[in-house]
Amino acid sequence: MSKRKIAVIRGDGIGVEVVGEALKVLEAAGAKHGIEWTFDEFPWSSQYYREHGQMMPDDGVDQLRDYDAIFLGAVGQPDIQDHITLNGLLLPIRRTFDQFVCERPSILFPGVTSPLSGKKPYDVDMLVIRENTEGEYSGMGGFMYEGQPDEVAVQTAAFTRRGCERIIRYAFEAASKRNKQKHVTSITKSNALGYSMVLWDRTFEEVSGDYPDISTNSLLIDAACMDFIRKPESFDVVVASNLFGDILTDIGAVITGSMGLASSANFDPTRENPSMFEPTHGSAPDIAGQGLANPMAQILTGAMMVRHLGDEAAADAIEASVKSVLEVGELLTPDLGGSASTSGVGDAIAGNLA
């Protein structure tokens, strides 16, 4: 029996609903595969902000430090500006815990129809490795003459050699472990961003020298957006800066069926700090509170957490159960063309676990 202690932050909107379903599935997997879970819930959310004037207590990040992992739904509500909610919770956790790797798989599963015509299962099967702590998200900047007609806003993108090197190296390591083409695509924009992306390109070139068996190419972000749609089968591992990776992974989600299927993990690969598991999608205020959200992204994110914690058989079982519900096709939420509810899908996946 392994004991796992998890900090759970449901957050806002559909985050609350899909985390509930994922916990159900994790409990079922734990019972079958010998994992004893402790789920400690933290009510940090937009509602918490309305009550306390901050998204989490001053020592919030410290309260999470001793957990095996953090399991988060999504944060964001239309009545509070996003920079307040996200800079008050999600982004500080990623940065303080040095979760510099964001892994986002994009896989077209059997039973799912891609909006791209003629795509068969697994025609899309790629892993985007997104830099997660610096770059365009460094959070450095400010306003001058705030609110006045001559107002100036400065937002600095900081790229460090160390930051570029460690994420690019991680991508090569990931490619060497995958069962695919053994190919890494670097996403750049060094035609316009002649400092940050030039450092990125140079680092990519240097690191690739250590991996002679892995083929590479480099694509400008605009062309990469086009190729994600035009020929997604050409990608294996993709490595991108924080903002470029963010944008590309929404495309990766939608070409593989839905935002509601796109799992994601924020890793500190050194394991000095807890890693955080949250799907690619947000709080989806347009469908929140109606039982319409697809919980599969959160559940597959749970499987990534289980795998990270070393419980491989349980992770395999969760993934297999999601795939079988997709393939049978009888219990799907509206984003996948069905009429099942969030909890109906959660129950089916939990009930189906081997």
Known catalytic residues are 145, 189, 222, 246, 250
- Contact flag: residue 260 with ligand NAD (CB under 6 A): yes
Query: Is there a contact between 105 and 79 (Cβ–Cβ < 8 Å)?
Result: no
For 58, the 3-state DSSP assignment is coil
With 0-12 / 13-18 / 19 or more C-beta atoms within 10 angstroms meaning exposed / middle / buried, residue 20 is middle
Minimum CB separation from ligand NAD for residue 11, in Å?
6
Look at phi and psi of residue 193 and say left if phi exceeds 0, alpha if psi is from -120 to 50, else beta. beta
Query: Is there a contact between 73 and 298 (Cβ–Cβ < 8 Å)?
Result: yes
Contacts of 46 (CB under 8 A, 6+ apart): 12, 55, 75, 76, 77, 79, 80, 85
Q: Which is nearer to ligand NAD, 287 or 304 (CB)?
A: 287
Minimum CB separation from ligand NAD for residue 293, in Å?
4
Residue 299: both structure tokens together: 């559940």
Instruction: Report the C-alpha gap between 305 and 248 in whole angstroms.
Output: 22
Per-residue binding letters, 274-293, with ligand IPM (x by CB under 6 A)? ------x-x-----------
- Contact flag: residue 45 with ligand IPM (CB under 6 A): no
Minimum CB separation from Mn ion for residue 66, in Å?
28
Instruction: Report the C-alpha gap between 163 and 99 in whole angstroms.
Output: 11
Which residues on neighbouring strands pair with residue 142, listed in sequence order? 154
Residue numbers 53-112 binding ligand NAD by CB under 6 A: 74-76, 82, 86, 90
Interface pick for ligand NAD out of 287, 340, 345, 349 (rule CB under 6 A)? 287
Minimum CB separation from ligand IPM for residue 156, in Å?
17
259 binds, among ligand IPM, ligand NAD, Mn ion, none (CB under 5 to 8 A by kind): ligand NAD
219 binds, among ligand IPM, ligand NAD, Mn ion, none (CB under 5 to 8 A by kind): none
Contacts of 23 (CB under 8 A, 6+ apart): 8, 39
- Contact flag: residue 294 with ligand NAD (CB under 6 A): yes
Our CA angle for 130, 83, 163, nearest 5°, is 30
Q: Which is nearer to ligand IPM, 172 or 228 (CB)?
A: 228
Element of type H or E holding 42: none
- The values of phi and psi at residue 104, to 5°, are -135, 105
Per-residue binding letters, 24-63, with ligand NAD (x by CB under 6 A)? ----------------------------------------
Residue 75: both structure tokens together: 């944060």
- The values of phi and psi at residue 271, to 5°, are 65, 15
- Contact flag: residue 246 with ligand IPM (CB under 6 A): yes
DSSP 86: I
For strands 152-158 and 135-144, give the pairing.
antiparallel
User: By rule CB under 6 A, what count of residues binds ligand IPM?
Assistant: 5
- Contact flag: residue 281 with ligand NAD (CB under 6 A): yes
Minimum CB separation from ligand IPM for residue 320, in Å?
26
Q: Which is nearer to Mn ion, 247 or 320 (CB)?
A: 247
Residue numbers 101-130 binding Mn ion by CB under 5 A: none
What does the chain come to in residues?
A: 354
Q: Which is nearer to Mn ion, 87 or 324 (CB)?
A: 87
Per-residue binding letters, 239-278, with Mn ion (x by CB under 5 A)? -------x--------------------------------
Interface residues toward ligand IPM, by CB under 6 A: 86, 90, 246, 280, 282
Q: Which residues contribute to the site for ligand NAD (CB under 6 A)?
A: 14, 18, 74-76, 82, 86, 90, 258-260, 278, 281-287, 293-294, 297, 335
